[in-house]
């Protein structure tokens, strides 16, 4: 086995295509720890294989590491050493376990969703890995070229190379779990599982590695043997990108962001490049789907023509690329537009379509975030199934400036610094795992430190953090931000009623609700917690004040509400609505938005958002000192059409919503009055 490394400057066409975008196609690598005698593996593996692998050929890479436990497995017996090294690297203690992009995501096969794949693919990668092989019938020579297409992150990098057999089938189960078909089984790693250190080249250059391995023709089906190579950062464990000998020669190269914050009437553009690196021209179908608020417009431009049709068929010349630009213009309604471009080869339909997903947000202050991880029983799905409980609650609270997304898209939004107008996040966990990752925790911590508000609800959150796969950062967040001490993942019985604390100044009038066994069977885990110093208990189980299931926490700039059950588990719709309204109103009361300056005198200021609007808007009143406040709204003829006596308000920022659903479109004037001042602002209602 030989290896040689050198830096090479290259000016091939594909480099010009990619560097114009600054990113390469990103392949999503799954390292799958499984075993032929593992019962839960037999339960979860088929769904992953049918739902993810089969639908993402040419988009994902998959390496199955067959472990030495819990029983017999001939695929482990063939090469236990390399598998054991990867088990140790990740700290795997049970099967099945899935590592997506190294240590970026850890979970079970059933927890992988298509949204997770799409989000990672859309992000692109600063490096491209080309893998090729030649063979003399006994040995194969592997050439791996790691091209730097954009600025790479700092770190300590290792190139790892896996020899994989695409599928191994047995006439009868080789273990005792009933499985007979096993995809992408690791045969060996070259030179070893430790890999080779790699210093990534400067932009425009490459690093080349050459290896040789011998085909085990007595055991392997050599027609199914191929190579997967990946670059991994050793401090974080994240895989930056991967490549294989089976990768297609066409795809989508993304440029710029996949999440942006827009505004009414102003177009936003998202750009990608479609490339065809084959020596023959290619025929493709572009299918564009959109899920956007009413009144928003979307179009796309390709080869100098603009389209609004759902699909078009195009031809891309050999060894060339074409720009594809999407143009989105928000209307007057607030929300998030979710968009997806799916490109399919009409010449080779066996290759899975390439997908580019992107998102635009406008006018959103209240943001519902669904955990996109899988259900706790490994059956798939995610928390979006019951997002209506949160949306109904915000509608009940009178919010019209809300949007809905998932935690993967939220991460992209944080990266793009595109959440400037979001004040409140409602994190819908339910019973999904992983509950958190450290990146989410860091983003939420920063959001809260800047004055954000957070509601988080779900069963087994504390269990995951303190008894499952939680990290030190997640435990610190649980205590310092969520304001809770974890006691038990199953509160002592009786635990089938949420009795809200009538002595609490905020949630005291919420009422009571039965708690449903929403997930069925033994999957009932209402958590028992206690508030940290400075936090308050908001509900008890069956009225037992020592059996606490929810807290609220206010410290410095932030406010947090934490429920040890998901809203989907509460049987009373009215109570669910009251929880959301109470949290919403508490979050908004006295809120201080980032970027709002301190007043230089006793004169109050007033900000109206959105403006223009259609049915409702928010008035933010910033008081330098306590004062009696009244609001009056006049039409263009001077007629009073709305008034509100707020009474004595403390120093700080206060928010009131104005319902304009009964008003006609036109120009209005809002007047803020205190005993010592009057402030006016023009409002525009579009109908």
Q: With beta carbons less than 8 A apart as the criterion, state whether 83 and 68 touch.
A: yes
Per-residue three-class SS string for 226-250: EEEEEEEECCCCEEEEEEECCCCCE
- Phi, psi (degrees; rounded to nearest 5) at 43: -75, -40
The mean pLDDT value for 32-47 works out to 97
Q: What confidence score (pLDDT) does residue 126 get?
A: 95
Class of domain 366-588: alpha beta
pLDDT tens for 52-108 read 999 999 999 999 999 999 999 999 999 999 999 999 999 999 999 999 999 999 999
Does the CA dihedral 397-400-406-411 come out positive or negative?
negative
Structure tokens at 405: 């997304």
Q: With beta carbons less than 8 A apart as the criterion, state whether 39 and 69 touch.
A: no
Between CA 529 and CA 620 the distance in angstroms is 35
pLDDT tens for 336-368 read 999 999 999 999 988 989 999 999 999 999 999
Class of domain 28-244: mainly beta
Lowest mean pLDDT, pick from 255-264, 294-303, 420-429: 255-264
Q: What confidence score (pLDDT) does residue 602 get?
A: 59
Class of domain 250-362: mainly beta
Give the residue among 310, 312, 292 at the shortest CA–CA distance from 302.
Answer: 312
Q: With beta carbons less than 8 A apart as the criterion, state whether 458 and 435 touch.
A: yes
Q: What confidence score (pLDDT) does residue 305 get?
A: 98
pLDDT tens for 410-437 read 999 999 999 988 999 999 999 999 998 9
pLDDT tens for 139-172 read 999 999 999 999 989 999 999 999 999 999 999 9
Give the residue extent of every domain in the chain: 28-244, 250-362, 366-588, 605-685
- Residue 16 pLDDT class (50, 70, 90 cuts): very low
For residue 344, the cross-strand partners are 285
pLDDT at 623 over 90: no
Peptide linkage before 125 cis (omega within 30 of 0): no
Q: In what order do the strands lie in the sheet with 652-659?
A: 605-609, 616-623, 652-659
Q: With beta carbons less than 8 A apart as the criterion, state whether 433 and 107 touch.
A: yes
Lowest mean pLDDT, pick from 263-267, 419-423, 664-668: 664-668
Longest pairwise C-alpha distance within the chain: 93
Give the residue among 177, 172, 147, 171 at the shortest CA–CA distance from 159.
Answer: 147
DSSP H helices in 5-138 = 13-21, 39-48, 74-78, 80-90, 114-123
Global pTM value? 0.76
How many other C-beta atoms lie within 10 A of the C-beta of residue 547?
A: 23
Exposed/middle/buried for residue 668 (C-beta within 10 Å: 0-12, 13-18, 19+): buried
Give the residue among 271, 223, 228 at the shortest CA–CA distance from 246.
Answer: 228
Peptide linkage before 191 cis (omega within 30 of 0): yes
Q: In what order do the strands lie in the sheet with 677-685?
A: 640-649, 627-635, 666-674, 677-685
Q: What confidence score (pLDDT) does residue 47 get?
A: 92
Between CA 231 and CA 239 the distance in angstroms is 6
Q: With beta carbons less than 8 A apart as the criterion, state whether 585 and 443 touch.
A: no
* Helix H or strand E segment including 144: strand 139-148
Between CA 576 and CA 21 the distance in angstroms is 46
- Angle, helices 472-480/438-449, rounded to nearest 10 degrees: 30
DSSP H helices in 548-673 = 573-588
pLDDT tens for 526-552 read 999 999 999 999 999 999 999 999 999
Q: What confidence score (pLDDT) does residue 272 get?
A: 93
Between CA 496 and CA 488 the distance in angstroms is 15
Between CA 11 and CA 680 the distance in angstroms is 62
- Phi, psi (degrees; rounded to nearest 5) at 473: -65, -40
Class of domain 605-685: mainly beta
Between CA 47 and CA 625 the distance in angstroms is 60
* Helix H or strand E segment including 461: helix 461-466
- Residue 590 pLDDT class (50, 70, 90 cuts): low
Between CA 34 and CA 38 the distance in angstroms is 7
- Residue 610 pLDDT class (50, 70, 90 cuts): confident
Share of the chain above pLDDT 70, in %: 95
User: Is-same-fold flag (28-244; 605-685)?
Assistant: yes
For residue 325, the cross-strand partners are 271, 301
Residue position matching structure tokens 């089969």: 54
pLDDT tens for 48-62 read 999 999 999 999 999
Between CA 109 and CA 358 the distance in angstroms is 25
The mean pLDDT value for 569-579 works out to 98
The mean pLDDT value of the chain amounts to 92
For residue 134, the cross-strand partners are 141
User: 438-444 — which CB contacts under 8 Å span 24+ positions?
Assistant: 438/471, 438/473, 438/474, 439/411, 440/407, 440/410, 440/411, 441/473, 441/474, 441/477, 442/473, 443/410, 443/411, 443/414, 444/477, 444/481
Between CA 673 and CA 676 the distance in angstroms is 8
**Helix, strand, or coil here: 30?**
strand
Give the residue among 486, 468, 594 at the shortest CA–CA distance from 532.
Answer: 486
- Report how far apart, in Å, the C-alpha atoms of 319 and of each of 17, 276, 281 are: 9, 5, 8
- Angle, helices 388-397/573-588, rounded to nearest 10 degrees: 60
Between CA 483 and CA 519 the distance in angstroms is 27
* Helix H or strand E segment including 396: helix 388-397
Structure tokens at 433: 């795992």
Q: What confidence score (pLDDT) does residue 22 get?
A: 61
Contacts (Cβ under 8 Å, ≥6 apart) of 581: 393, 396, 397, 398
Q: With beta carbons less than 8 A apart as the criterion, state whether 295 and 614 touch.
A: no
Structure tokens at 153: 């992150």
Q: What confidence score (pLDDT) does residue 601 get?
A: 45
Give the residue among 419, 475, 473 at the shortest CA–CA distance from 450.
Answer: 419
């Amino acid at each position: 086995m030989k290896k040689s490394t050198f830096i090479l400057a290259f000016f091939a066409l594909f480099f010009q295509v990619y560097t114009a975008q600054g990113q390469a196609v990103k392949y999503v690598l799954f390292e799958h720890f499984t075993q032929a005698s593992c019962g839960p593996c037999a339960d979860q593996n088929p769904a992953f294989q049918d739902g993810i692998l089969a639908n993402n050929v040419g988009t994902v890479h998959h390496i199955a590491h067959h472990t030495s436990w819990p029983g017999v497995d001939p695929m482990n017996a063939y090469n236990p050493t390399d598998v054991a090294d990867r088990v140790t690297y990740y700290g795997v203690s049970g099967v099945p376990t899935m590592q997506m992009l190294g240590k970026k995501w850890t979970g079970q096969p059933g927890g992988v969703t298509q949204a997770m794949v799409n989000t990672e693919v859309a992000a692109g990668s600063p490096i491209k890995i080309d893998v090729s092989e030649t063979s003399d019938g006994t040995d194969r020579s592997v050439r791996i070229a790691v091209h730097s297409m954009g600025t790479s992150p700092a770190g300590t990098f290792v190139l790892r190379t896996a020899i994989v057999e695409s599928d191994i089938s047995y006439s009868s189960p080789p273990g005792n779990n009933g499985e007979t078909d096993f995809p992408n089984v690791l045969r060996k790693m070259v030179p070893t599982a430790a890999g080779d250190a790699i210093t990534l080249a400067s932009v425009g250059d490459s690093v080349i590695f050459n290896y040789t391995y011998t085909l085990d023709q007595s055991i392997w089906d050599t027609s199914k043997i191929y190579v997967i190579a990946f670059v991994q950062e050793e401090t974080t464990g994240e895989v930056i990108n991967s490549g294989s000998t089976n990768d297609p020669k066409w795809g989508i190269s993304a440029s710029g962001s996949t999440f942006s914050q827009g505004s009414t009437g102003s177009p936003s553009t998202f750009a990608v490049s479609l490339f065809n690196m084959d020596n023959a021209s290619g025929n493709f179908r572009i299918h564009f789907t959109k899920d956007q608020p009413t009144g928003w417009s979307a179009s796309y431009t390709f080869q100098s023509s603009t389209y609004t049709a759902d699909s078009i068929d195009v031809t891309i010349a050999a060894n060339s690329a074409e720009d594809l630009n999407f143009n989105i213009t928000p209307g007057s309604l607030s929300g998030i537009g979710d968009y997806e471009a799916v490109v399919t080869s009409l010449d080779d339909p066996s290759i899975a379509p390439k997908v580019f997903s992107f998102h635009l947000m406008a006018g959103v202050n209240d943001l519902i975030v669904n955990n996109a991880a899988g259900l706790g029983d490994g059956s798939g799905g995610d928390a979006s199934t019951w997002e209506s409980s949160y949306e109904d609650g915000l509608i009940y609270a009178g919010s019209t400036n809300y949007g809905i997304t998932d935690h993967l898209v939220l991460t992209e939004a944080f990266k793009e610094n595109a959440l400037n107008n979001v004040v409140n996040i409602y994190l819908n966990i339910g019973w999904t795992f992983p509950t958190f990752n450290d990146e989410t925790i860091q983003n939420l911590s920063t959001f809260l430190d800047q004055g954000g508000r957070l509601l988080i609800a779900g069963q087994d959150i504390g269990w995951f953090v303190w008894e499952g796969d939680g990290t030190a950062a997640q435990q610190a967040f649980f205590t310092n931000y969520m304001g809770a001490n974890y006691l038990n993942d199953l509160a002592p019985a009786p635990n089938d009623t949420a009795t809200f604390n009538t002595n609490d100044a905020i949630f005291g009038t919420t009422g009571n609700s039965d708690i449903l066994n929403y997930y069925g069977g033994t999957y009932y885990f209402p958590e028992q917690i206690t508030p940290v110093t400075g936090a308050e208990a908001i509900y008890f189980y069956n009225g037992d004040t020592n059996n606490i299931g929810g807290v609220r926490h206010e410290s410095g700039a932030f406010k947090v509400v934490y429920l040890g059950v998901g809203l989907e588990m509460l049987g009373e719709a009215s109570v669910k609505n009251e929880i959301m309204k109470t949290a919403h109103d508490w979050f908004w009361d006295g809120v201080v938005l980032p970027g709002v300056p301190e007043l230089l005198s006793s004169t109050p200021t007033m900000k109206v958002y959105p403006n223009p609007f259609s049915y409702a808007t928010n008035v933010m009143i910033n008081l330098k000192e306590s004062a009696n406040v009244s609001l009056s709204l006049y039409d263009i003829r001077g007629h009073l059409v709305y008034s509100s006596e707020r009474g004595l308000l403390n120093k700080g920022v206060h928010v009131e919503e104005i319902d304009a659903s009964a008003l006609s479109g036109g120009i209005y004037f809002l007047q803020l009055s205190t005993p010592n001042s009057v402030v006016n602002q023009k409002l525009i209602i579009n109908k």
